[in-house]
């Protein structure tokens, strides 16, 4: 039996470990009842929602959950490895790791329009996932990390529900959506109670098309690597300096543009890295926080010396509006 899509008035907000544990207990029971001895498929991106759904299902049905992690080459540094380490090695999940990096990057080669890039990434993801699902014959259930704001927003017509639809109808799955009545903060509370690492539960929002929209214009492997490496340095420095969890979202962009510089006493002609850091409540508007100049200088020194192909670092000072948070 699937739950209704309406959160009952009487449902208490999950604000403590005890309430999260109670939710887990009830859901484990409900999941076992819904799927019995059948297998359940889950696209595990490593994001908060799908990770919490995976952990809940592992608790409820163990090896009958089959996770598929598609590495499309647009994930942040260390993310695919963390998914494998946490879910396969530590939680003992049945995890299929699909290395689809070449497939995605080949399809994206030469494509510079942001919406076309998004469309290609979304479509290719569904194709890869559907192929994996077809190989695993006879799976009837599909788990999804749908959360309550997804349901509310798709009802209001604000955005297409990113978790629903997309998969070919002939796959004919029955949906398993154990966190669909929860708000994000509740999903996090449940994730902590399930023992997921804090870095996974409290991570900043990350767009579905991943680093692909931060390697602006037509994506090339070398520039994508510059995005990934500079992003890793920025995240490491923000964490070291107590900004993790304080600044809402921060990342780097590497535009398809070069400028003159000097490296090792020679003329260099290389990309700039742009730092974007914003605070917001709902991502509809955003402000730019004041950052320590010393820290920015230190990050600049690290990025220009450690990231191949980069000779400048810029800081985006634009609030939203006029600038959106992402550059594409
Ligand atoms: P913008 O750039 O519109 O971003 O100010 C607002 C928030 O949405 C995220 N974002 C996306 N998330 N798919 C996603 O799942 C996308 O295509 C996408 N584009 C932007 C962005 O990171 C920010 O948190």
Kindly give the number of the ligand 1 atom that is closest to the alpha carbon of 326. 2
* In the predicted structure, residue 120 carries a pLDDT above the cut 60: yes
Q: How far apart are CA 229 and CA 261, in angstroms?
A: 20
Tokens 């529900």 belong to residue: 161
pLDDT value of position 160: 56
Q: Is 210 in the pocket of ligand 1 (CB under 6 A)?
A: no
CA atoms of 70 and 73, how far apart (whole Å):
9
The minimum-distance atom of ligand 1 relative to the CA of 162 is 15
Q: Is the pLDDT of residue 3 over 80?
A: no
Strand 174-176 relative to strand 141-143: parallel, antiparallel, unpaired?
parallel
Q: What is the pLDDT of residues 253-284, one digit of tens each?
A: 999 999 999 999 999 999 999 999 999 998 99
Distance CA 272, CA 286 (A): 23
User: 31 — phi, psi (to 5°)?
Assistant: -65, -45
- Give this prediction's pTM: 0.93
φ, ψ of residue 56 in degrees (nearest 5): -65, -45
Q: Per DSSP, which regions of the chain are E strands?
A: 40-43, 65-71, 94-99, 141-143, 174-176, 249-253, 259-263, 266-278, 310-315
Confidence at 170, pLDDT banded by 50, 70, 90: confident
Ligand 1, residues 280, 284, 326: which to mutate, most atoms within 8 A of Cβ?
Answer: 326
Q: What percent of the chain has a predicted confidence (pLDDT) above 70?
A: 96
Please identify, by atom number, the ligand 1 atom nearest to the C-alpha of residue 251. 22
Of the pLDDT bands very low, low, confident and very high (cuts 50, 70, 90), residue 166 is: low
Is a pLDDT exceeding 50 seen at residue 164? Answer: no
160 Cβ closer than 6 Å to some ligand 1 atom: no
Residue 313 in this model has a pLDDT that exceeds 70: yes
Task: Work out the pLDDT band at 20, boundaries 50, 70, 90.
Answer: very high
316 close to ligand 1 (CB < 6 Angstrom): no
Which whole number is the average pLDDT over 145-150? 93
Q: Ligand 1 pocket, 279 CB below 6 A?
A: no
pLDDT higher than threshold 80 for residue 171: no
CA geometry: angle 87, 200, 29, nearest 5 deg: 60
Ligand 1 lined by 212 (C-beta under 6 Å):
no
Average pLDDT, the chain: 94
Whether the CB-CB separation of 45 and 76 falls below 8 Å is answered with no
For 151-160, 167-176, 266-275, which range has the lowest pLDDT when averaged over its residues?
Answer: 151-160
Return d(Cα 180, Cα 147) in angstroms, integer: 4
Q: Whose CA is nearest to atom 16 of ligand 1?
A: 207
Residue 163 has pLDDT above 70, yes or no: no
Atom from ligand 1 closest to the CA of residue 280: 24
Q: CA 54, CA 60: separation in Å to the nearest integer?
A: 10
**159: three-class secondary structure by DSSP:** coil
Q: Identify the pLDDT of residue 169.
A: 74
State the distance from the centre of ligand 1 to the C-alpha of 101, rounded, in angstroms.
22
Residue closest by Cα to atom 22 of ligand 1: 207
pLDDT of res. 4: 87
CA of 41 relative to ligand 1 center, distance in Å: 26
């Amino acid at each position: 039996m699937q739950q209704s899509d309406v959160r009952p008035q009487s449902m208490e907000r999950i604000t403590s470990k005890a309430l999260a544990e109670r939710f887990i207990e009830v859901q484990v029971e409900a999941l076992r009842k819904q799927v019995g001895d059948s297998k359940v498929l889950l696209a595990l991106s490593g994001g908060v929602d799908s990770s919490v759904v995976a952990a809940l299902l592992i608790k409820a049905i163990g090896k009958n959950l089959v996770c598929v992690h598609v590495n499309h080459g647009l994930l942040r540094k260390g993310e695919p490895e963390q998914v494998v380490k946490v879910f396969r090695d530590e939680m003992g999940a049945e995890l299929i790791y699909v290395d689809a990096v070449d497939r995605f990057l080949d399809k994206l080669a030469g494509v510079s329009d942001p919406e076309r890039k998004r469309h290609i990434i979304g479509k290719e993801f569904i194709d890869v996932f559907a192929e994996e699902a077809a190989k695993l014959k006879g799976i009837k259930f599909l788990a999804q990390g749908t959360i309550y704001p997804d349901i509310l927003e798709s009802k209001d017509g604000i955005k297409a529900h990113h978790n629903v639809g997309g998969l070919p109808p002939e796959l004919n799955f029955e949906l398993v959506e154990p966190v669909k009545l929860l708000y994000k903060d509740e999903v996090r509370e449940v994730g902590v109670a399930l023992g997921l690492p804090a870095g996974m539960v409290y991570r900043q929002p990350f767009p579905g098309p991943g680093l692909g929209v931060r390697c602006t214009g037509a994506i090339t492997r070398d520039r994508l690597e510059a995005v990934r490496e500079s992003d890793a340095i920025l995240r490491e420095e923000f964490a070291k300096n107590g900004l993790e969890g304080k600044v809402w979202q921060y990342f780097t962009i590497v535009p398809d543009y070069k400028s003159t510089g000097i490296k090792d006493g020679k003329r260099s002609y290389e990309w700039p890295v742009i730092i974007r850091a914003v605070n917001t409540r709902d991502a509809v508007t955003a402000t730019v926080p004041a950052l320590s100049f010393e820290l920015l200088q230190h990050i600049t020194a690290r990025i220009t010396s450690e990231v191949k192909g980069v000779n400048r670092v810029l800081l985006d000072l634009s609030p939203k509006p006029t600038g959106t948070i992402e550059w594409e």
